């Protein structure tokens, strides 16, 4: 299985479509900068039960450091304002599939896929953009390579 998933990595990256420009985010958060501090994905993306989503971090996670770190910066003051108002930062989604598609992060992680397989080299990015193909074609080609099902009902509610 693992070897097949590695083969799929090449396939997914090759299936790269025209990369889309990064959306403008409310706060200029950099994955590259924060991962170089030694943080891990799971510090901010927790995959709560039943394991479908990875989630986005609450402002309280950020404020654990930013109450003091760079507290004078305009970007951090904006972050602190969201936190004080008990609202989450309105992050603009980069990878999003329609709600009529079934998808579970946990099932894919358990099959040996890695974050980079589907999201590219996040740790090298200052800003994230949609750089891999998570369209139906992208899902299907990895399923074919890994002998996972490509039945319509596997990923979609059966239609009447
Ligand atoms: C098999 C492909 C695949 C793998 C592997 C994968 N993701 Fe995702 N990820 C997706 C898809 C597809 C979405 C969009 C899900 C949606 O809109 O419901 C997504 C969405 C997300 C989101 C947005 C929040 C959410 O859950 O919808 C985050 C954050 C994320 N992924 C982080 C990660 C991290 C961290 C890892 C590794 C631990 C990872 N992903 C591994 C395909 C993948
Ligand atoms: C483990 C501590 C830690 C956590 C948690 C953390 N940061 Fe940071 N952040 C830092 C440090 C340290 C820097 C300064 C890095 C540098 O410039 O060298 C920084 C820099 C920044 C900057 C740049 C500020 C400026 O004006 O230069 C922004 C914006 C930022 N962080 C946003 C966030 C957000 C949003 C979160 C939560 C999703 C977050 N940070 C979580 C430690 C942290
Ligand atoms: C300090 C907190 C923090 C850490 C650590 C972190 N992220 Fe994130 N992540 C965020 C924030 C904040 C966003 C929303 C802003 C953005 O898209 O850049 C985000 C967004 C994402 C998204 C886009 C989700 C979507 O659909 O909009 C992906 C994919 C992702 N992260 C993957 C990862 C991976 C993989 C790692 C580990 C290599 C990681 N992140 C580590 C805070 C973090
Ligand atoms: C890296 C290769 C890869 C990619 C990309 C991928 N899948 Fe999968 N997927 C698999 C494998 C392998 C399995 C079988 C896991 C198992 O045997 O439990 C699977 C299983 C599934 C399952 C069944 C999960 C469960 O709960 O048992 C669904 C639904 C699914 N994928 C949907 C998708 C969708 C939708 C996408 C695109 C957004 C996608 N997959 C992208 C490899 C992939
Ligand atoms: C491995 C998962 C997977 C399988 C299997 C799958 N789909 Fe999809 N399908 C998706 C994803 C992901 C999207 C959303 C793509 C996007 O973001 O636009 C989608 C979107 C669609 C759409 C709406 C988008 C459009 O192009 O208009 C239709 C219709 C559809 N699928 C039909 C089917 C049929 C029919 C089958 C069986 C032959 C099938 N799907 C099998 C993952 C899958």
Identify whether 26 is part of a domain.
yes
Identify whether 122 is part of a domain.
yes
pLDDT at 157: 79
pLDDT tens-digit profile of 24-83? 999 999 999 999 999 999 999 999 999 999 999 999 999 999 999 999 999 999 999 999
Identify whether 97 is part of a domain.
yes
Tell me the ligand closest to 135's alpha carbon.
5
DSSP-H helix ranges across 20-125? 31-35, 41-44, 59-66, 74-84, 105-110, 115-119
Identify whether 29 is part of a domain.
yes
- Minimum CA distance residue for ligand 5 atom 31: 136
pLDDT tens-digit profile of 111-156? 999 999 999 999 999 999 999 999 999 999 999 999 999 999 999 9
Tally of structural domains, the chain:
1
Q: At 73, phi and psi to the nearest 5?
A: -75, 145
- Minimum CA distance residue for ligand 2 atom 16: 33
pLDDT at 1: 45
Q: How far apart are CA 32 and CA 122, in angstroms?
A: 7
Give the total residue count for the chain: 160
């Amino acid at each position: 299985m693992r070897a097949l998933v590695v083969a799929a990595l090449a396939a997914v990256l090759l299936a790269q479509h025209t990369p889309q420009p990064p959306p403008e985010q409310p706060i200029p958060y950099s994955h590259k900068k924060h991962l170089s501090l030694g943080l891990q994905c799971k510090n901010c993306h927790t995959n709560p039960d039943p394991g479908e989503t990875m989630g986005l971090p609450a402002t309280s996670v950020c404020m654990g450091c930013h109450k003091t770190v760079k507290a004078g910066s305009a970007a951090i003051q904006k972050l602190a304002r969201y936190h004080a108002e008990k609202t989450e930062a309105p992050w603009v989604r980069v990878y999003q599939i329609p709600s009529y598609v079934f998808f579970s992060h946990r099932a894919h992680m358990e099959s040996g896929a890695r974050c980079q397989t589907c999201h590219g080299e996040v740790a090298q990015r200052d800003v994230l953009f949609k750089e891999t193909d998570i369209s139906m074609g992208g899902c299907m080609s990895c399923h074919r390579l890994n002998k996972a099902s490509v039945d319509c009902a596997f990923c979609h509610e059966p239609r009447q």
